[in-house]
Structure 1
């Protein structure tokens, strides 16, 4: 089938311009999968049960502004309910050169300039949190590399996993909101994988309820399968608009895109959510074999060779990433991992039977975004056709 092993990950440079920002949110000409109307949980029931005074809420924001776009209503509800709140910004959003050039009216962006822009965005995040009722002291900035979380996941995840496990141990959340593995932004989906692993490595008794949020998806407000839906009250919507306004550096091309998030309810998805039309489905049998079915969609602006990326959780601790080139493989094909003996395909040593969770992703750029997010296969046999959008825990 032309499947061959390649060393883990390669450096990728992402450039966020106005066109790229629109690609994940229904830009004209973007032909995504047909999405049926949403069938959310009744809003009243979901809203009343999501957060209480006894909760300790932890929000993991990949970048400044995600706290507002994805969890602005949830944060306001938590503050109103009297819950404990912590917001952790995993990156400072400093690697956004085109926005920075427009804001600062300079062409050269070096390390010093990026650091300055990161501090500016941190200040905007604190101002936005203030509009949502969250004091600055409840924010934490981890300052991992912006546009680099997938590389960290696949090349050197130790530091970020230690930070996430430490945060879980400190906060001991009863409710955690974090990026869905299905998000099409590589930073977001990678953080979702890292958080899922960190939860398994967290101290005993840290078993929070989980809310996955999507920020980058072309049919976000129409996706079925949301576990929680929070319609905004008039006062909550007004506070959210002020919070969006606080992120002034992001208004150059994206203000209309940002305010569009306020048009519908704030929605959260189950941990194992996979949207309809996802390019991968996967199953794992009792022998540990993983069968991945590829249903890659034609994309006229896609670039780069298709690669199947797998992250294996080792039973003794640590993660083992590897990549399989799909050169010569049909856009609709099924691949067995590890490859069957005699197939002529190579595969890194390792026992999938003894492995913990595995995460699988089709790596192919579509402009700035991914064609699809990650699929999680928990330990033990699974029989879920992930491409059908099944929910799990």
Structure 2
């Protein structure tokens, strides 16, 4: 699948923070402008929880609520300046002001309003190209926004070309993206200029940020459900026998208190946000409902030879629109792994909706 753009295209870009639009998609946005395509850029957070650059620039140790709000406004203006340079205007920008460094928590608590807003923007634009942060990005805001966007766009992406981008990679072992947008010297220069519009980030990270202005802008085509890199700890994920079965690589000495998160959209149950602490030995484990704090059910965990096999009763969830799972494991600020999509049983949401419509017609 080529990343070609024409005047007939309508492009929706999801940017977790101000600066991700330039770092991740600065070349693509230039191509969109030159092709005459319509663009919408949704900035999900305002990057206000950014204490070390703020301390360095403002020469303050303690950051008050008013100081964070002022910093957020400054970062939003930097994003608008970058878009004016890349696109010729900033009319395409929409800021959701989600909690910076809190998007995973928002997802686990439901994220209904965010999903509804994204869904409305999708319906209004009717995009032909959707560009999302990768579910494998090491930054937890990026990977969680991928899941929120996928929930918002469930059943609507079949008519789009969908690309993902990584800003925060996990070292040299991370797989290299499958698609490279090759930029001209002028496009590299202008992408660098757009990155430099984010002046607040230059005090501590100028060299690291401007290094993204290179001749190849990497993307991935949206992977089919069930695909995962060799580095992801969830090695197998499937629905079988009325249960969600996961095979998780934990190592010979399992790390204590590592938590498994399940985020799903179910037609009968709506939002499903469950979690459980992975035990170090085989036993029954109580799951927690992250939205209510209740303990809805138990699951079985079998630990053997450096792997944990988890079986979660899932019959009540069917029909299921989409499911993602994640192992909580942090390396300082970043995640050790992102979210993994699980293939929904029975063909997923579209098949499920057709079955429901058929059943209702038969009842009538």
The TM-score range, normalised by the shorter chain, is 0.7 to 0.9
- Comparing 260-269 with 114-123, greater Cα deviation is found at 260-269
Equivalent of 1:230, from 181, 198, 201? 181
The aligned residue for residue 243 of structure 1 is 194
Cα deviation for residue 350 of structure 1 reads 6.3
Match of 2:245, SS state, is strand
- The structure with the largest strand share of the pair is 2
Equivalent of 2:274, from 314, 322, 339? 322
Distance 1:237 1:126 in 2: 19
Distance 1:373 1:305 in 2: 18
- From the superposition, tell whether residues 220 and 138 of structure 1 become closer, same or farther in structure 2 (CA, over 3 Å): farther
- From the superposition, tell whether residues 220 and 80 of structure 1 become closer, same or farther in structure 2 (CA, over 3 Å): farther
Distance 1:124 1:212 in 2: 23
Does 2:196 align with 1:271? no
Match of 2:120, SS state, is helix
The aligned residue for residue 129 of structure 2 is 175
- TM superposition score normalised by structure 2: 0.81
Distance 2:155 2:228 in 1: 24
Cα deviation for residue 270 of structure 1 reads 2.6
The gaps in structure 2 that reach 5 residues or longer are 282-302, 348-364
Equivalent residue runs for 1:1-393 within 5 Å: 46=2, 49-200=3-154, 207-219=159-171, 223-226=175-178, 228-263=179-214, 265-272=216-223, 274-296=228-250, 305-316=257-268, 318-329=270-281, 332-338=306-312, 351-380=316-345
Match of 2:221, SS state, is coil
Match of 2:195, SS state, is helix
Match of 1:132, SS state, is helix
Q: Does the CA-based 8 Å contact 1:312-1:356 persist in structure 2?
A: yes
Match of 2:146, SS state, is helix
Distance 1:257 1:212 in 2: 21
Q: Does the CA-based 8 Å contact 2:246-2:309 persist in structure 1?
A: yes
Q: Structure 1, residues 182-213: CA drift from partner, whole Å, max 9, x if none? A: 111110001000111111166xx983221111
Give the greater-gyration-radius structure (CA): 2
Q: Does the CA-based 8 Å contact 1:199-1:207 persist in structure 2?
A: no
- From the superposition, tell whether residues 222 and 285 of structure 1 become closer, same or farther in structure 2 (CA, over 3 Å): closer
The gaps in structure 1 that reach 5 residues or longer are 1-44, 340-348, 383-393
Q: Does the CA-based 8 Å contact 1:51-1:81 persist in structure 2?
A: yes
Q: Does the CA-based 8 Å contact 1:73-1:240 persist in structure 2?
A: yes
Distance 2:46 2:97 in 1: 6
- Comparing 167-176 with 213-222, greater Cα deviation is found at 213-222
Q: Does the CA-based 8 Å contact 1:75-1:132 persist in structure 2?
A: yes
Cα deviation for residue 134 of structure 1 reads 4.1
Quote the RMSD (CA, aligned, Å): 2.6
Q: How many residues align?
A: 321
Match of 2:24, SS state, is helix
**RCO comparison, higher one (Cα < 8 Å, 6+):** 1
- TM superposition score normalised by structure 1: 0.75
Cα deviation for residue 224 of structure 1 reads 3.6
Q: Structure 1, residues 236-277: CA drift from partner, whole Å, max 9, x if none? A: 001011011111101122111112212351111132363331
Distance 1:129 1:309 in 2: 36
Cα deviation for residue 123 of structure 1 reads 0.7
Distance 2:268 2:343 in 1: 16
Q: Does the CA-based 8 Å contact 1:182-1:372 persist in structure 2?
A: yes
Q: Does the CA-based 8 Å contact 1:286-1:381 persist in structure 2?
A: no
